[in-house]
Amino acid sequence: MTQVIILDRDGTINVDRPDYVKELSELVIIPGAGEAIARLCRVGYSVLVCTNQSCVGKGLITSERLAEINNELERRLAAVGARIARFYVCPHVDSDLCTCRKPLPGLAETARRDWGFDPAITWAIGDATRDARMARGAGCKPALVLTGKGETSRLEIPEVPAFKDLGAFVDMVVAQPGIG
């Protein structure tokens, strides 16, 4: 069975912007996030990204531009030995009533079908309440990082494990092999 870690993108891997990452120049990786992903890869995890990108549905960027931004993120992560196995993207806005928009579990469920992982032993990490709700809805183990919206989210869902950043989460995973 494949070992998988699911990550949110904005606020977890790269700096979350209130006006969205619309240009390559606006893409800023959170310090240490790339190295944390590289460590996950080195110990055998496939890292998947499940991300809402309503900037596409709002017409702020095209799907092609989003692909360019994700490709650039992959390029920068590869420079430190990190690899994103696959991006799962919801381009919709809330009014579209899709099943892939977090907090609904559609993205994680699609990833499970594609990768065959056991959600009961799979962590899904993000900075927002909706990330934790997606994880729970898909049967995964939720965790928060306190980057991005994490500090506010921790107040809303204090029962979800919270970590200073992605590196601190990876420290826990690497120190306790077999926890998922």
| Residue-wise DSSP of the chain | ---EEEE-SBTTTB---TT---SGGG--BPTTHHHHHHHHHHTTPEEEEEEE-HHHHTTSS-HHHHHHHHHHHHHHHHTTT----EEEEE---GGG--SSSTTSSHHHHHHHHHH---GGG-EEEESSHHHHHHHHHTTPEEEEESSTTHHHHHHH-TTS-EESSHHHHHHHHHHSTT--
The catalytic residues are 8, 10
